[in-house]
Structures are given as C-alpha cells and as structure tokens.
Amino acid sequence: MNAFQPSRPPLEPVEQRQVVTPVVPRPKRHLRQLSHRVMALETTAKVAVNLVIGTAAISALGQLLPYHWSQQDKLREIRTEVKVMEGRVNNLRTEFSRNFDPHQAKGIMQEKSYRFEPNKRQVVLINQEDSPGE
C-alpha cells in the first residue's frame, strides 16, 4: 500500500476547437418584461378580489347595522317594561303578605267589606251645612 507509484506527467488540457455559432441574443429582457407583466396582473387580480370582498363586507354591515339598532331599541323597551313590572310585582307582594298577615286580618276585613265588629260603633261624618234640621 505504501509502495511508490510511478509518477505521471501532469495532464495538459487538450485544446478543443470551439465551434463558432452565430450569435443569437438571449431573450433576457423579454423574459424580465414578461415576469413584470405577470406580477402586475397578479397584483391587479389580488387588489380586485380584495375590493370585491371589502365591498361585500361594507354592504353586509350596511344591512346589519339598522337591524342591530332596532334590536337595541327593542331591548331598551323590554328593560323599561321589566322595571315597571318589577315595581308592580313588589307592590303585589307587599299587598299579598299584608293580606295574609294574621295580625292585620280584622283591619283588612273592615277595609274590604265595610263591616265592623259588633262592639264598635260606626261613625259617619255629616257636614253641618247640609244637615236637614236647620
């Protein structure tokens, strides 16, 4: 493996004859212009699509905002009605608890039926100016 190998003379490149072809200009400029056109068309298409999407979004908002406002008005009306009803319910609850309070039963019976206990006298106020005795 470590044996000496005969040295070879360095290889010199063989000169090859180049075939001279007629000079044809490469279409680099044409390709560059074409790529710019393609990029311009692509950008234009993207802008057009975004405009269409934006127009659709604005149109949808234009239709949804009046609906939203009407729903907010209805909600405000319902909240007002709820407050009124809560007041009414509270009044009815206090009246209900008063009506069923055993300590106030006699007083409530007198209010509702205009009847009095037998040991009490009914007092009727008469205006003296209208009394027939004078």
- Give the model confidence (pLDDT) of 111-127 as tens digits: 777 666 777 777 778 88
- Would you state the pLDDT for residue 75? 97
pLDDT at 87 over 80: yes
Dihedral sign computed on CA atoms, order 84, 86, 90, 95 = positive
Instruction: Tell me, yes or no, if the pTM score tops 0.85.
Output: no
Cα–Cα dist 73/41, whole Å: 48
DSSP state of 102: G
Spatial CA neighbour of 44 closest among 36, 32, 56, 33: 36
Q: How far is CA 83 from CA 5, 46, 69, 75, 130, in A?
A: 111, 54, 21, 12, 48
Cα–Cα dist 84/90, whole Å: 10
- Would you state the pLDDT for residue 78? 97
